[in-house]
Amino acid sequence: MIDHHTILTFNHYKKGKPFTGSLKGMRYRIIKVSAENEDDTDKFRVDTWPEPLCYEATDPDKITVQLFAFSQEGYEDIIKYLNEKQTEYTPV
């Protein structure tokens, strides 16, 4: 199960560095995406894909992208999303 300890703290993502992990057949990557214009806001980008390959070696067609608000609430939503999404993957 993915929790606060698994995906690091909210403050980690303020630096803009990606975090990757895996759980039971699913790999994931979380990164902060900066707003592109004044009317936009920063977001979390969460990519999920099937094991065994890393993000860079995976066919982009196999990667699912989901965006979340870059906030504590968005961070909590990511945890729920990843735990629900994992059921779509089969361990290798």
Q: Where are the domains of the chain?
A: 10-88
Number of H helices, E strands in the chain: 2, 4
Residues 19-69 pLDDT 10s? 999 999 999 999 999 988 877 899 999 999 999 999 999 999 999 999 999
Query: Binning pLDDT at 50, 70 and 90, where does residue 91 land?
Result: confident
Cα–Cα separations (whole angstroms), residue 84 to 17, 30, 40: 24, 16, 28
